[in-house]
């Protein structure tokens, strides 16, 4: 699900308060994608490859829920997996304090 980013508008579903289980769903090349609204799902159908290419390197910071290109993030590790955060030192401190809770809200 690419960290909970709507493939069409690149907004964080969590930041928008959208429950993943009720978010519109589309499947492309065997992968399921969730959208912030039916309009974004419909728009995606017209050219999924183009929309997926636009967000290919985008991530959602699990702390502030900001949507960022990977180049504008920093990496940390949790249970052997890389986690990307925005560059804010406050986000890193908060992530270190409660990583499991913050990752859970992104579905990871």
pLDDT digits (tens, 9 = 90+) for 13-34: 988 999 888 999 999 999 999 9
Domain boundaries, the chain: 2-56, 60-104
**5 pLDDT exceeds 50?**
yes
Element (H, E) at 84: strand 81-86
Q: Which of 2-6, 9-13, 85-89, 91-95 has the lowest mean pLDDT?
A: 2-6
Distance of alpha carbon 82 from the chain centroid: 14
Residue 3 — very low, low, confident or very high, per pLDDT cuts 50/70/90? low
Residue 4 — very low, low, confident or very high, per pLDDT cuts 50/70/90? confident
Distance separating alpha carbons of residues 27 and 34, to the nearest angstrom: 9
Three-class secondary structure of residue 89 per DSSP:
helix
Three-class secondary structure of residue 92 per DSSP:
helix
């Amino acid at each position: 699900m690419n960290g909970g980013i709507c493939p069409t508008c690149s907004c964080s579903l969590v930041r928008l308060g959208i429950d993943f289980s009720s978010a519109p769903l589309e499947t492309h090349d065997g992968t399921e994608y969730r959208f912030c609204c039916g309009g974004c799902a419909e728009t995606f159908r017209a050219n999924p490859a183009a929309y997926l290419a636009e967000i290919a390197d985008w991530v959602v910071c699990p702390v502030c829920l900001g949507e960022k290109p990977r180049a504008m993030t920093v990496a940390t590790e949790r249970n052997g997996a890389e986690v990307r955060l925005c560059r804010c030192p406050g986000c890193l401190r908060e992530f270190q304090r409660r990583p499991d809770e913050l990752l859970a809200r992104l579905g990871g």
